[in-house]
Homo-oligomer: A and B are copies of this chain.
Amino acid sequence: MRDFSADHRWLSLNTATVRKQGNFVEIVDACARHGVRAVSPWRDQVADVGLDRAVKAVKGAGLDLSGYCRGGMFVADAGHRQESRDDNRRAVDEAKALGAPCLVLVVGGLPQFSRPGSAPSKNLADAHRMVEEEIAYLLDYARKAGMPLALEPLHPMYAADRACVNTMRQALDICDRLDPAKSGALGLAVDVYHVYWDFELKAQIARAGRERILAFHVCDWLVPTRDLLLDRGMMGDGVADIPAIRALVEAQGFNGYVEVELLSNDWWSRPMDDVITTCLARFRSAV
C-alpha cells in the first residue's frame, strides 16, 4: 500500500467538491496553486465554461485526469431513449477531448427520475435490463473511441432516483456478462461512500481485480447523515475505514490517482482554498 502521509501526489480533485465556489477554470487554477496534479471534471461544469476552454485550462495547467463525470442515466421510456444514447455518445467524445482515462457511469434509476419526462414506473427489474442493454450499446462506441467505461455502483439509497446498480456484485455481474475477456474497456469506479457498508466488499474487490478497478473515490460517511445527497463527509470525519478499503484496492494492483469527491452543503459553504487545503491534509492523514 502506498504511503500517502508525506505528500498528496496521488490526489485527484473531483471538481464537484468545490462546485459552488468557482467555475471550472477557477477550480483548475486553484489546483495548480495547491500542487494538485489531477482532477475529475463534471460535465455540467465543463459545459458551463465550454469544452474547448476546459480542455485548454486542463492542458495549460498540465493536469492529469482521473475520470470524467459522468455518462449514464440510461433508464428512459421509448420516447427518451435516443436522447439518452446521443447524450452518452457526447459524453464519450468529451472525455476523449479532455484526455480522461475513463468515463464514469451513473446508470440511472426509475425512468421518471433518470430521464425526466419519461413515463413513471416502479419496475426496477426493467430498469436493470435497460441499463445492461444500454451499456452494451454504448460500449461498442466507447471501445472504438478507446474510452473505458467505469460503472459506478451507487449506494442503495439512490436506487430509485439515481442508479439502480447498487453493489459491487451487481456491477461486476454486468461487467462479466458484457466484457468477459476483461479487455479493459469496462470496469468499475469504486467509491468508498457507496460501498463501505457491504459485507462482500473485500471479496468483490478481489473479484474485480486490477483489470476492473478503473477509478477509486474517497470521502466519508457521517453519523448522523442529515441529507441523502449533500452531506458527504471529509475523510476522517466519519466512520468509513478508508485506509483499510484503499489497502484492499491497492492489493489488487491499483496504483492510480485517488479521487476526492465530496458533495456537501457544509463544504460548499466554505472558501475554495480552505476546502482544498483540508482535502490535502486529510488525504495525508486519513486516506
Which residues of A are interface residues toward B (Cβ below 8 A)? 110, 113, 122-125, 128, 155-157, 159-161, 164-167, 169-170, 196-200, 202, 221, 223-225, 228, 239-241, 244
Inter-subunit contact B166/A197 (CB<8 Å): yes
Minimum CB distance partner of A159 in chain B: B197
A223 and B26 alpha carbons, distance in the complex (Å) = 34
A196 and B166 alpha carbons, distance in the complex (Å) = 12
Tell me which of B113, B165, B244 contacts A223 (CB under 8 A). B113
Can you name 16 A-B residue pairings with CB atoms under 8 Å? A110-B239, A122-B239, A122-B240, A122-B241, A124-B196, A124-B197, A124-B241, A125-B202, A156-B157, A156-B197, A160-B239, A164-B197, A166-B199, A170-B200, A225-B228, A228-B228
Which residues of B lie under 8 Å from residue A165 when comparing CB positions? 199
Which residues of B lie under 8 Å from residue A196 when comparing CB positions? 124, 159
Which residues of B lie under 8 Å from residue A221 when comparing CB positions? 160
For residue A228, give the distance in angstroms from its CB to the closest CB of chain B: 6
Determine which residue in A197, A199, A221 has the highest number of CB atoms from chain B within 10 A of its CB, and name it: A199
Which residues of B lie under 8 Å from residue A198 when comparing CB positions? 156, 166
> When A156-B198, A166-B199, A167-B199 are in contact, do A161 and B223 touch as well, CB less than 8 Å?
yes
- Give how many copies assemble into the complex: 2
Which residues of B lie under 8 Å from residue A123 when comparing CB positions? 241, 244
Inter-subunit contact B199/A160 (CB<8 Å): no
> When A110-B239, A156-B155, A199-B128 are in contact, do A224 and B166 touch as well, CB less than 8 Å?
no
A77 and B160 alpha carbons, distance in the complex (Å) = 36
Inter-subunit contact B161/A224 (CB<8 Å): yes
Which residues of B lie under 8 Å from residue A224 when comparing CB positions? 161, 228
For residue A178, give the distance in angstroms from its CB to the closest CB of chain B: 15
**Top-7 shortest CB links A-B:** A159-B197, A122-B241, A156-B197, A160-B239, A170-B199, A157-B157, A156-B156
Tell me which of B155, B159, B169, B199 contacts A164 (CB under 8 A). B199
Minimum CB distance partner of A122 in chain B: B241
A239 and B162 alpha carbons, distance in the complex (Å) = 13
Which residues of B lie under 8 Å from residue A223 when comparing CB positions? 113, 160-161
Which residues of B lie under 8 Å from residue A241 when comparing CB positions? 122-124
For residue A173, give the distance in angstroms from its CB to the closest CB of chain B: 8
A200 and B125 alpha carbons, distance in the complex (Å) = 10
A110-B239, A122-B240, A164-B197 given; 8 more Cβ-contact pairs under 8 Å: A122-B241, A124-B241, A128-B199, A159-B196, A160-B239, A166-B198, A225-B228, A228-B228
Inter-subunit contact A225/B170 (CB<8 Å): no
For residue A224, give the distance in angstroms from its CB to the closest CB of chain B: 7
Minimum CB distance partner of A243 in chain B: B122
